[in-house]
Structure 1
Amino acid sequence: GRDGAVIAADLTPEMLAQARPQAAAARAALVLADARKLPFADASADALFAAGLINHLPDPEAGLGELARVTRTGGLLVLFHPSGRAALAARHGRTLTQDEPLSAGPLQRSTTATGWRLAAYDDAVDHFFALAVRC
């Protein structure tokens, strides 16, 4: 909306450099930040979009907790990847297991434990999508 802002955060300057042209076109701010310790106030975000984030966190539950900290009650968290978990595992030469952070059971448990309600889960061949609502 007119009063809102879009902020893109990443841990690496290289990824922010790649995002700079799109961020400028979208009038989005770029912030160098660790998703486990975000430089934002409590309950300051209405929605978060995390593309490919959870599998890169050493402690996914701690990361989800930090995302919950900065999201207002009723706010949304979209977890997305442009390929499904099976395709991603195959591309990296590994076998998909049911105990991975983005498997349905573990993701349900970790979102619940960190203040989210998992509202949608879709692990398709060509994408991964989960939607959680901040409790």
Structure 2
Amino acid sequence: MESAFEIETRAVFDRHQRQQEDDDHIFDRLTSLIGDDYFGLPSGSFRGLDILDAGCGSNANASYAFLNKGARSVTSLELGDAWMDCARKRLGRFGARSVLVAGSVLDLPFDHRSFDFVHCAGVLPHTSDPQKGSQELVRVTRPGGSFFLTIMGTANGVIYRCINHLRELYQGDEQFRRSVDNLSAATARQAVDWLFGYQGS
């Protein structure tokens, strides 16, 4: 059973994620970031896999990216079912390869060892029991499979404040938007190295 905290948090993210889904440019940019290289995997690594996108969000952008990159099936999981109308707008084109499931990462409705790749981005800090959630995600990962977890709720909210500011700039400043859209992995790495004063050999 979800706590009031989890349900309220889901409602906040639902509003934001629906705005992203309504903007093709933003949605396409989000899905373009979910590539093999982002996960440190060889090209084509998602082809033929059964993937769980746990806490997929209302727009299910990562689920879309995995399906577009050849996953055999992607199960998109999120609290309640109010988000499913939004996710279906993008995922419907994939037919039976896309499965939408209402559920919680704290009590996953799947058998042990159900998935080759489990993805959970920015979800566990918004639950009442992150440790239980991580144990559940490991439980449903197959031997030899991969479990990718992203935690963004760190630095006493500083990271989220930075992210939210950058999102506002991206939406409201055309020049900033073009600059971000033209970033590649190499230019982003150069910018970060410059920011922190790194001197490579």
Q: 1:56 to 1:84 in 2, by over 3 A?
A: closer
Which structure is higher in helix share? Answer: 2
State the Cα distance separating 1:58 from its structure 2 match: 1.0
Distance (whole Å) between structure 1 residues aligned to residue 126 and residue 115 of structure 2: 22
TM-score of the superposed pair, with normalisation by structure 2? 0.40
1:6-61 CA-to-partner distances (Å, cap 9, x unmatched) read 11011132222221112212331101111111111101111111132111111111
Q: Which has the higher contact order (CA 8 A, sep 6+)?
A: 1
Name the CA distance, whole Å, in 2 between partners of 1:2 and 1:68: 16
Q: Does 1:45 align with 2:122?
A: no
3-state SS in 2 of match to 1:43: coil
Q: CA RMSD in A?
A: 2.8
Bigger radius of gyration among the two: 2
Asked if 1:74 is matched to 2:138, the reply is no
Structure 2 residue corresponding to 1:60, chosen from 119, 130, 136: 130
Amino acid at match of 2:75: I
8 Å CA contact 2:49–2:116 kept in 1: the answer is: no
Identity rate, percent: 33
Structure with the largest fraction of strand:
1
Q: Distance in 2 between matches of 1:38 and 1:12?
A: 13
Q: What SS does structure 1 have at the residue aligned with 2:145?
A: strand
Secondary structure of 2:73's aligned partner: coil
1:88 aligns with 2:156: no
Structure 1: 4+ residue segments shifted above 4 A = 89-92
Count of aligned pairs:
92
Shift of the alpha carbon at 1:90? 5.3
